[in-house]
Amino acid sequence: MPKRNREDKEYKENKKRRKLAKKIEKYKAKMAELDPQEPEQQSEESNSFNEQTDQVHADEQEVEPVVNSIIIDEEEDMELSSDIVSALGEVIGTQKEYGDDIHPSILKIIENILTEGLTKEQRETINKSALIPGNAKLLDAPKLNTEIIGLINQATRTRDTLMVARQQDLGLAIGTVRNRTLF
């Protein structure tokens, strides 16, 4: 697909400006309905708005004056009608529940591991020292049958290898955490 030429870019920018101007007009009309002002103030505001839109159309190359000249009043908390609220349904609890806090020094170590990661040597040391408990053999990742390995394609084999590594890490982590919490 070829790049847009300059005229296409200008047309698109002008279209965006017109759309933004329409939104501003709708917003001002809605605000006028909600908060009726004296007609003198409304006419002054509309005159300044018309001057701003004329400036936009006069100088189509400059985007900054349009953006800087648009000042939207403070957003007011608008009441919704009961029809809209009932149509949307009840508020679903979006607050996620968390458990008890952990010790701050442990938290710093965990945050560092999560953001920076572990070196290869550190991972190997942990994997060698951490063992899956003997009575929880299901935590160990299952191995793929050798008969099936020959029948599947390379992408599926790679995917399976990655899944086995993830499952093995999870099993080691669960087993280690469980062993540490019991003592």
Judge whether residue 40 has pLDDT over 90: no
Task: Give the end-to-end CA distance of the chain in Å, rounded to a whole number.
Answer: 65
**pLDDT in the model for residue 1:** 55
Cα–Cα distances (Å) from 120 to 110, 123, 124, 127, 130, in that order, read 17, 5, 6, 11, 15
Examine the pLDDT at 106 and tell me if it is beyond 70: yes
- Across the chain, what does the average pLDDT equal? 76
Can you give the pLDDT at residue 65?
47
For the residues 96-122, what does the mean pLDDT come to?
Answer: 87
**Nearby residues of 144 by Cβ (< 8 Å), 6 or more positions away:** 157, 160, 164
Q: Where are the domains of the chain?
A: 9-72, 119-182
Asked whether the predicted pLDDT for residue 64 surpasses 90, the reply is no
Choice between 58 and 123, residue whose per-residue pLDDT is larger: 123
pLDDT score for 52: 57
Model-wide pTM > 0.85: no
pLDDT for the residue numbered 158: 93
pLDDT at 159: 94
- In this predicted structure, the answer to whether residue 53 has a pLDDT above a threshold of 70 is no
d(C-alpha 111, C-alpha 147), whole Å: 43
- Sign of the Cα torsion 122, 128, 133, 138 reads positive
